[in-house]
Amino acid sequence: MKKLIQFKNIVKSFDNQIVLKGINLDIYENEFVTLLGPSGCGKTTLLRILGGFLEQTSGEIVFDGDEISKVPAYKRNLNTVFQKYALFPHLNVYDNIAFGLKIKKQSKDIIEQKVNRMLSLVGLEGYAKRNVTLLSGGQQQRVAIARALVNEPDVLLLDEPLGALDLKLRKEMQHELKKIQQEVGITFIFVTHDQEEALTMSDKIVVMKDGEIIQIGTPTEIYNEPVDEYVARFIGESNIIDGVMKEDYLVDFDDKDYKCVDHGFRENEPVDIMIRPEDIDIVARNKGVLNGEVKSTLFKGVHYEIIVETVSGTSKTVTMHVLGNKDIVNEEEKEKISASNFYMDLEDVPNLTTGDVTARANAQAWNFDNEDLSISKVTYDVKN
Ligand code: ATP
């Protein structure tokens, strides 16, 4: 894939506040890239600098081989979709989408062809003559996306475009947006603070914190191999507990055995253990690593969320998820589910409101203070 955009050491200060602290990031053609981070971490500022609405304090942006810092916004071949749709209220759907093409003085036939293609792309065939102010939020956002794409930009910038929509519509639009991006085949740079949204749509996620990039990776990399505790806690749920290394293993799923692989952890070395709630299995009493007591069980639809207070070592609360729909797990399915996922008899789940439970966890261990150590699956003892 061709490198399309390079941020080179981008620094941005407002008055005396440094908002971006030296951003280095490469973005490729046809990528769906998400800038993800909590409110105030600098996502929008970075997007606005790329869009040409703000100038960086120092650093360079290279776009398709050219340094563009001094190129005005309207000459950059990109377009932006905002959370607030900013449609022209006095124009109908067709004229909103056609606006940019009319300014470029394109012929009536070409305009009609392009606008119709956009209407079909965003699923608004038959809405051409509608007044935009009478459309739903989701429909208005579709018009805004069509208007931004009709000029055939190389890059579409999307600043929390789904933020104003209700949850159901938001989820629908996540799939729509991904589909649209694949259909038009251009780079989308999407800003959100919603980790689920980022995981659902992105080819690449850029996790930011306080004006810095903390990790860049695919959704699975970010979820399975977070570089630090901040990412582990921000993306998905995780239990992080202190441990001491006993043996260093990789799980071999084929024969459901463990193979010993040396990842460089020393015996008895203190490690941070991250366990995803869905990776904890309940097993027969005293067969697991973590012993605990169930404090509460909540039915969440897809899964039960079970809060367990561990009783081995220091008392600690651990959250675990167990599939909630009994019907989807029959004996055959159970066989297919890898050893990492599931062990328990689902009939028992709703009764797990109190009492003892023994859990066995597939944990990942890090030493967050030592960057040289790689990730591995391990067995561990909870630290006393
Ligand atoms: P959100 O998700 O809330 O939009 P964000 O990650 O996009 O957050 P930015 O909008 O980039 O964050 O803001 C980063 C920091 O820069 C914030 O502390 C904000 O107050 C500050 N900031 C942004 N624009 C300006 C401005 N024009 N003048 C002064 N400070 C600004």
> Distance between CA atoms of 141 and 174, rounded to whole angstroms?
12
Q: What CATH number belongs to 3-231?
A: 3.40.50.300
Q: CA Rg, the chain, in Å? A: 25
Each domain of the chain, given as residue ranges in start order, spans 3-231, 237-382
Q: Determine which helix (DSSP H) or strand (DSSP E) holds 327, and give its type and residue range.
A: none
Atom of ligand 1 nearest to the CA of 44: 7
| Nearest alpha carbon, ligand 1 atom 16 | 19
Confirm or reject: Cβ of 214 under 6 Å from ligand 1.
Answer: no
Helix or strand or coil: residue 345? coil
Confirm or reject: Cβ of 37 under 6 Å from ligand 1.
Answer: yes
Residue 46 Cα, ligand 1 centroid: separation in angstroms? Answer: 10
| Nearest alpha carbon, ligand 1 atom 31 | 14
Confirm or reject: Cβ of 193 under 6 Å from ligand 1.
Answer: yes
Task: Write out the DSSP string of 108-129.
Answer: HHHHHHHHHHHHHHTT-TT-TT
Confirm or reject: Cβ of 23 under 6 Å from ligand 1.
Answer: no
List helix spans (H) across 240-378: 331-336
Residue 61 Cα, ligand 1 centroid: separation in angstroms? Answer: 20
Please, are residues 25 and 212 in contact by the beta-carbon 8 Å criterion?
A: no
Confirm or reject: Cβ of 41 under 6 Å from ligand 1.
Answer: yes
> Distance between CA atoms of 81 and 59, rounded to whole angstroms?
25
Residue 362 Cα, ligand 1 centroid: separation in angstroms? Answer: 39
| Nearest alpha carbon, ligand 1 atom 28 | 14
Phi, psi of 222 (to 5 degrees): -65, -40
Longest dimension (CA), the chain: 77
**pLDDT digits over 338-384, tens only?**
223 333 332 333 333 233 344 444 444 444 443 333 333 333 333 32
**pLDDT digits over 312-329, tens only?**
545 567 777 766 554 434
| Nearest alpha carbon, ligand 1 atom 10 | 44
Task: Write out the DSSP string of 175-215.
Answer: HHHHHHHHHHT-EEEEEES-HHHHHHH-SEEEEEETTEEEE
Residue 42 Cα, ligand 1 centroid: separation in angstroms? Answer: 6
Residue 43 Cα, ligand 1 centroid: separation in angstroms? Answer: 8
- What letter represents residue 359's amino acid? A
Residue 170 Cα, ligand 1 centroid: separation in angstroms? Answer: 24
> Distance between CA atoms of 232 and 228, rounded to whole angstroms?
6
Q: Which of 21, 44, 158, 210 to mutate to test the pocket of ligand 1 (most atoms within 8 A of CB)?
A: 44
Per-residue pLDDT of the chain (384 residues; tens, 9 = 90+): 899 999 999 999 999 899 999 999 999 999 999 999 999 999 999 999 999 999 999 999 999 999 999 999 888 989 888 877 788 999 999 999 999 899 888 899 999 999 999 999 999 999 999 999 999 888 998 999 999 999 899 999 999 988 878 888 888 889 989 999 999 999 999 999 999 999 999 999 999 999 999 999 999 989 877 888 888 889 888 777 666 655 554 433 333 333 333 456 666 666 666 777 777 665 544 444 555 666 677 777 777 777 777 655 455 677 777 665 544 344 444 343 322 333 333 233 333 323 334 444 444 444 444 333 333 333 333 332
The angle, 0 to 180 degrees and rounded to 10, between the axes of the packed helices 137-149 and 93-103 is 20
| Nearest alpha carbon, ligand 1 atom 20 | 40
Phi, psi of 205 (to 5 degrees): -110, 135
**In terms of C-beta distances under 8 Å and separation of at least 24 residues, what long-range contacts does 192-196 make, across chains too?**
192/34, 192/35, 192/36, 192/43, 192/160, 192/162, 192/163, 193/36, 193/37, 193/38, 193/39, 193/43, 193/160, 194/36, 195/36, 195/234, 195/235, 195/236
